[in-house]
Amino acid sequence: MTAASLARAEPQWGPAQAGALNDRYSGRALDALADTLTDPAFGATALVSSFGADSAVLLHLAAQIRCDTPILFVETGWLFPETLRYAEDLSHHLGLTDVRWLSPLQATLDEKDPKRLRWSYDPDGCCDIRKVEPLDRALTGFDLWISGRKSHQNRARAQLSLFEPQGTRLKLNPLHNWSADQLRAYAAQHKLPPHPLVADGYPSIGCSPCTSRVQPGEDPRAGRWRGWDKSECGIHVPSEPGNDPVF
Ligand code: SF4
């Protein structure tokens, strides 16, 4: 089965196509990455990056294939200054030519988070207006997006597959089965600059009010939304068959 036979003239993806692609690319995640970035049968493809602790590996892999890959980066208004500088420096280092900085709508912030305190009493709502909505807007016109999630990051991600449907789009997780050691080895081999906060005790980096240092032995994402029953921002919430995309 070819990718072309899986796609329509205007690709619209679902669980059946995701399953077939998982069979087709079993054990060949990097081929899947190359094909989704170069084969028009997959439709328009973007890569979503947080420019966080592990982001350099996937961005480097994509840059080797296409330096003009659209990179979607959500600047929530609460990112660490170190992350903003890292996004600029790493984009330049890798020669990425189409990094799109996304922002929440000012009118929405004025209405729903005028005091910039929503993160402290309603982190789900804060993520909705600062992360989910801006990304949803930016994904308009894309058929497939690439994510850097790894199954070792936390229990919620343990069952990650290479391809997964999300609404009418397809999501590719090319690093889903990479271990932390593999990521470190790849970054060292290619001399990729690390996020400056990793050495300061942050193995997972999001917004400053919702990210804390992680102690030895803790889950790498234990410092995200510490004290809340929350482990994802909503961007990666899976959709149920027949439902609209959940962003
Ligand atoms: S991670 Fe925290 S500050 Fe950032 S959007 Fe979500 S709740 Fe708001």
- Tell me, in angstroms, the distance from the centre of ligand 1 to residue 69's CA: 26
| Residue 165, strand partner residues | 170
Distance between CA atoms of residues 152 and 221, nearest Å: 10
Domain borders along the chain are 3-199
Distance between CA atoms of residues 101 and 146, nearest Å: 16
Sort 65 into a burial class: Cβ within 10 Å, 0-12 / 13-18 / 19+: middle
This prediction has a pTM of 0.90
Distance between CA atoms of residues 101 and 99, nearest Å: 6
Pocket of ligand 1 (CB under 6 A): 76, 78, 119, 123, 126-127, 130-131, 206-207, 209-210, 233
Superfamily of domain 3-199, CATH level 4: HUPs (3.40.50.620)
CA quadruple 127, 133, 134, 140: dihedral sign: positive
Q: What is the pLDDT tens value at each position of the chain, 247 positions in all?
A: 455 455 445 667 889 999 999 999 999 999 999 999 999 999 999 999 999 999 999 999 999 999 999 999 999 999 999 999 999 999 999 999 999 999 999 999 999 999 999 999 999 999 999 999 999 999 999 999 999 998 876 566 667 999 999 988 999 999 999 999 999 999 999 999 999 999 999 999 999 999 999 998 888 888 888 878 777 777 776 543 333 222 2
Number of residues that this document lists for the chain: 247
